[in-house]
Structure 1
Amino acid sequence: MTNIIDGLQCGHFDRDSFTALQSAGLSGVVVTCGFWEGTVESLDSLGRWRDLIAENSDVTTIALTPDDIVQAGRDGKVAAILGYQNANLFEGRIRFVELFAELGVRVVQLTYNNQNELAGSCYEAEDSGLARFGREVILEMNRAGMLVDCSHVGNRSTLDAIEASEKPIAVTHANADSLFAHKRNKTDDVLRALGETGGVIGCAAYRNITGDHYCKSIENWCEMVARTVEIAGIDSVAIGTDRSHNFTAPDYAWMRMGRWTRGIDYGAASAARPGKAPPPDWFLTLQDMDKIPNGLRSVGFSEEEVEKIAHGNWLRLYRATFRNSDS
């Protein structure tokens, strides 16, 4: 079975989540520890994650280095890579970057759905670009061993981040806007810039940003991956499904509206299709991730290319960015 690393999932993981991912052949997954939470709430979340993983240590472990992910695969476990989908956990304090890195956080997104003091979001009418503080945070993340994620970041700010970072960055869960037009997806110039600098995009399987056609079958989704490779290059495309676990209506409300509005915000959904998006037709259960390697083969990828997309490209990027890595 080909090992798989998923660049981002979210939701309320439990033992069943990890055993399902284990059976699908995952050796690693970036888990979302928070969206809008500040420092103390983010610390609370880390505490809960540590408890969950300790209680299920026979099937999962926390990964601090790429070698931890490789070892988890050898042991038949799923390595949880701790990440946040917003920079609120730092609360404007540059020194908190290093502190959270020392607590095991390895992936942080500069912004979520709103502009913040670091950069512009994909949903703002105007993308402000990277702020001075954003540049400082990126350099501190480089130094501390955190991967910079720009999945919900605006295209201009993402290009700024690629230029500002001393290490390659990621778009952990999005698709090419030229293949399915959506504010959450990335323009071809962003994807080419990722490819030119060693960055990686994790192709998403979230219907709202993937579209019904690419969700219809594993072959269609893998064809989308192949077309993304044509833009970014074979070394810069991986998997970032954006799969959610055990989410209910209040969870979607928090994810989309947080504490910043009294109104209704649909996030990547719309008034015509509110609420939870149906999963892809080929991805009804977590175990269905085991279809991905053969799906990639079916659209013409070689064994070497399947390995890169399934896990190799993420491992290369983690080795280039994580603290305590071998290279």
Structure 2
Amino acid sequence: MDRRAFIQFAGVAGTALAFPAVGRAAEPAVRAGNARSLYIDAQGALDGFEPDGKGSYRPTARLIEAAKQRRIDVVSMTIAEVGNGPDRFRGAMESIAAYDRIVAEQPGLLVKVETAADLAKAREPGRIGVIYNFQDTTALEADPSKATMFGTLGVKVIQLTYNKRNLAGDGCLESANAGLSDFGREAIAEIEKARILLDLSHSGQRTVAEGIAAATRPPAITHSGCRALVDFPRNMHDAEMRALAQKGGVFGIYLMPFLRAKGQPGGEDLIRHLDHAVNICGEDHVGIGTDNPFLGYEINDETRKQQREFYEDRANKGIAAPGEAADVFNLVEGYNNAARYDRLAADLRGRGWSSARVDKVLGDNFARLFAQVWEA
């Protein structure tokens, strides 16, 4: 399974890179349990599970403590493989069943989020809301009506394309930039009919533009960056960012290497992209989709070796995007643990952001969008 097909939620349904967290600085103060703010990672992964010796998995003490501290309240996690390949439908069904089992076994910790009311439950200290998403439409296997079935099973976000071309349209690494196919338009209609949020991350420029135009409900770009700042294909142009906001959608900034032209990005890179996104989209249409594991990555010789192997595998498959590198981790320095949202909130306020704007970008905007699409 690709790393983006879920960074080890208990190691179920495949193998992926998953590293435990590493602290980088003194952790910021813990939010009060009754704090109004709601932290949402619109594209992440919930690591921090270990085998229980009985054929299932249990949460680690560190994950439990992070949940009690309300470090991140809700994580939207990818539960199906990305890219073209065999048995994508069957694999998605098996993944849903596997994750449902773990959620059912941890009722005091995990909340499967399918409604706005479930988002409210995730505010409780000690609980983490999980949203099921697909980062590709390949699980539909040429039948867009399958979106309704997946929606019934709790998949609440479906991304139209991954980096390369699929039946729906061109991904961001396709040089042809051919845009949406007829199937893609049918898929969008079925996704919206099922009250699933349409995600246009990883798509090519024309696919994004045409997808926004075709959408009748507000769509999202859950994890990307600003192409005006760094000209990589995984980042989005201002025109599409603006069109997304005008449609009522939300643009999520990731914590990924694409935030700078070369090397490991840091906090200044992240805040620069957030500032630009707010300037283009408005503060009501920007959020965060880290594309990181909840607890973060440990950096040591072994994980450096794994990163090289991971990158080489993606490069050999043709899905490694410009900006990825064998020696660059998919993280932003200074925000590589479960306290990243609290630290970012403090950093943004220190740059003059109002508390209201910080709350919007760190969760409220995506909460509004989810409720609008899922329940309208």
TM-score tier by shorter-chain length is 0.7 to 0.9
Separation in 1, partners of 2:154, 2:276: 35
1:1-327 aligned within 5 A: 1=31, 2-10=37-45, 14=49, 15-16=59-60, 18-19=63-64, 22=67, 23=69, 25-36=71-82, 38-74=88-124, 76-210=126-260, 215-217=265-267, 220-244=269-293, 252=310, 256=314, 263-265=316-318, 267-268=320-321, 273-274=325-326, 277=329, 279-322=331-374, 325=375, 327=376
Query: Kindly tell me: are residues 20 and 195 of structure 1, through their superposed partners in 2, closer, same or farther at Cα, counting changes over 3 Å?
Result: farther
Deviation at 1:215, TM superposition (A): 2.9
Greater Cα offset, 202-211 or 141-150: 202-211
Separation in 1, partners of 2:134, 2:158: 5
Deviation at 1:132, TM superposition (A): 1.0
- Contact 1:26–1:73 (CA<8 Å) still a contact in 2? no
Separation in 2, partners of 1:295, 1:222: 9
Query: Kindly tell me: are residues 212 and 53 of structure 1, through their superposed partners in 2, closer, same or farther at Cα, counting changes over 3 Å?
Result: farther
- Contact 2:255–2:330 (CA<8 Å) still a contact in 1? no
Deviation at 1:279, TM superposition (A): 2.6
Cross-structure match for 1:260:
none
Deviation at 1:12, TM superposition (A): 5.4
Deviation at 1:89, TM superposition (A): 1.0
Per-residue Cα deviation, 1:97-142 (whole angstroms, up to 9, x for no partner): 1000000000111111211111110000011111111111111111
Note the residue ranges of structure 1 that are not aligned, 5 or more in a row.
258-262
Deviation at 1:249, TM superposition (A): 5.9
- Contact 1:107–1:149 (CA<8 Å) still a contact in 2? yes
Percentage of matched positions with identical amino acids: 26
Deviation at 1:178, TM superposition (A): 0.7
Separation in 2, partners of 1:269, 1:290: 30
Cross-structure match for 2:34:
none
**More helix per residue:** 1
One-letter code of the match for 2:361? I
Deviation at 1:10, TM superposition (A): 3.7
Deviation at 1:307, TM superposition (A): 1.3
Which runs of 4 or more aligned residues in structure 1 lie more than 4 Å from their structure 2 counterparts after TM superposition?
209-214, 245-251
Max Rg structure: 2
One-letter code of the match for 1:87? T
Note the residue ranges of structure 2 that are not aligned, 5 or more in a row.
1-30, 32-36, 50-58, 298-302
Deviation at 1:239, TM superposition (A): 0.6
Per-residue Cα deviation, 1:231-284 (whole angstroms, up to 9, x for no partner): 111111001111047795699479837xxxxx453613568x226625321122
Separation in 1, partners of 2:158, 2:353: 31
One-letter code of the match for 1:51? R
One-letter code of the match for 1:107? V
One-letter code of the match for 1:256? R
Greater Cα offset, 2-11 or 203-212: 203-212
Separation in 2, partners of 1:6, 1:255: 27
Separation in 1, partners of 2:227, 2:141: 31
TM-score in terms of structure 1 length: 0.88
Query: Kindly tell me: are residues 20 and 163 of structure 1, through their superposed partners in 2, closer, same or farther at Cα, counting changes over 3 Å?
Result: farther
Separation in 2, partners of 1:242, 1:278: 8
Query: Kindly tell me: are residues 30 and 211 of structure 1, through their superposed partners in 2, closer, same or farther at Cα, counting changes over 3 Å?
Result: farther
Separation in 2, partners of 1:214, 1:301: 25
- Contact 1:174–1:202 (CA<8 Å) still a contact in 2? yes
- Contact 2:109–2:127 (CA<8 Å) still a contact in 1? yes
Deviation at 1:211, TM superposition (A): 5.1
Separation in 2, partners of 1:305, 1:293: 10
TM-score in terms of structure 2 length: 0.77
Separation in 1, partners of 2:179, 2:281: 22
- Contact 2:223–2:290 (CA<8 Å) still a contact in 1? yes
Question: Aligned residues, how many?
Answer: 317
Deviation at 1:295, TM superposition (A): 1.8
Query: Kindly tell me: are residues 34 and 251 of structure 1, through their superposed partners in 2, closer, same or farther at Cα, counting changes over 3 Å?
Result: farther
Greater Cα offset, 294-303 or 148-157: 294-303
